[in-house]
Amino acid sequence: MTDSVKFNRACVIGVGLIGSSLAHAMRTAALVDEIIGVDRDADVIARAQKLGVIDKGETDLVKGVKGADLIIVSTPVGAIGAVAAELASAADDGALIIDVGSVKGVALDAAKAMPERVHFVPCHPVAGTEQSGPEAGFASLFHDRWCILTPAPRDDDAYKAAVDKAAALWSGVGAKVEIMTAEHHDLALAVTSHLPHLIAFTIVGAADDVESVAAGEIVKYSAGGFRDFTRIAASDPVMWRDVFLNNKEAVLEVLGRFSEELAVMQRAIRWGDGQALEDAFTRVRGLRKAIVEAGQESAAPNFGRDDKPR
Range of the structural domain that residue 293 is part of: 184-304
Q: What SS3 state is found at 56?
A: strand
Domain membership flag for residue 273: yes
- The sign one gets for the Cα dihedral 235, 237, 243, 244 is positive
Residues 148, 61 share a domain? yes
Overall average pLDDT of the 93-110 stretch: 95
Q: What SS3 state is found at 99?
A: strand
Residues 115, 136 share a domain? yes
Cβ neighbourhood burial of 185 (10 Å; 0-12, 13-18, 19+): buried
Nearest C-alpha neighbor of 168 from the set 156, 177, 158: 177
CA–CA separation, 189 and 249 (whole Å): 12
Cβ neighbourhood burial of 60 (10 Å; 0-12, 13-18, 19+): exposed
Nearest C-alpha neighbor of 108 from the set 119, 96, 120, 92: 120
Average pLDDT of the residues of the chain: 86
Residues 277, 141 share a domain? no
pLDDT digits (tens, 9 = 90+) for 131-190: 788 998 899 999 999 999 999 999 899 999 999 999 999 999 999 999 999 999 999 989
pLDDT surpassing 80 at residue 277: yes
Domain membership flag for residue 162: yes
End-to-end Cα separation, the chain, in angstroms: 49
pLDDT surpassing 70 at residue 303: no
- What's this model's pTM, rounded to 2 decimal places? 0.82
Measure Cα distances from 55 to 37, 47, 92, 273 in Å: 8, 11, 20, 62
Residues 191, 122 share a domain? no
Residues 86, 58 share a domain? yes
pLDDT digits (tens, 9 = 90+) for 193-231: 888 888 888 877 777 666 555 556 666 655 666 777 777
- Beta-carbon contacts of 197 under 8 Å, excluding residues fewer than 6 positions away, are 232, 233, 235, 240, 243
Provide the 8-state DSSP code for 77: G
Of 164, 180, 196, which residue constitutes the final position of a domain? 180
Least confident of 89-93, 245-249, 259-263, 298-302: 298-302
Domain membership flag for residue 233: yes
Q: How many CB atoms lie within 10 A of CB 146?
A: 16
Of 148, 180, 212, which residue constitutes the final position of a domain? 180
Residues 141, 108 share a domain? yes
Length of the chain as a residue count: 310
Q: What SS3 state is found at 3?
A: coil
Tell me, what's the pLDDT at 309? 35
In CATH, what number is assigned to the domain containing residue 124?
3.40.50.720
Nearest C-alpha neighbor of 30 from the set 46, 1, 7, 13: 7
Tell me, what's the pLDDT at 39? 92
Of 126, 146, 180, which residue constitutes the final position of a domain? 180
In CATH, what number is assigned to the domain containing residue 206?
1.10.3660.10
Provide the 8-state DSSP code for 102: S
Domain membership flag for residue 158: yes
Residues 231, 139 share a domain? no
pLDDT surpassing 60 at residue 304: no
pLDDT surpassing 50 at residue 306: no
Domain membership flag for residue 2: no
Tell me, what's the pLDDT at 308? 40
Q: Assign 295 a pLDDT band (cuts: 50, 70, 90).
A: low
pLDDT surpassing 60 at residue 55: yes
> Higher-confidence residue: 43 or 202?
43
Residues 59, 37 share a domain? yes
* Strand bridging mode 123-125 / 119-121: unpaired
Domain membership flag for residue 18: yes
Tell me, what's the pLDDT at 284? 77
Instruction: Determine the distance from the C-alpha atom of residue 283 to the mean position of all C-alpha atoms in its chain, rounded to a whole number.
Output: 29
> Higher-confidence residue: 183 or 4?
183
Residues 157, 203 share a domain? no
Tell me, what's the pLDDT at 132? 82
Residues 199, 162 share a domain? no
Residues 196, 143 share a domain? no
pLDDT surpassing 60 at residue 299: no
> Higher-confidence residue: 117 or 232?
117
Residues 224, 109 share a domain? no
Measure Cα distances from 140 to 24, 145, 243 in Å: 8, 10, 24
> Higher-confidence residue: 181 or 282?
181
Domain membership flag for residue 173: yes
Domain membership flag for residue 1: no
Tell me, what's the pLDDT at 182? 94
Tell me, what's the pLDDT at 99? 96
- The count of structural domains within the chain is 2
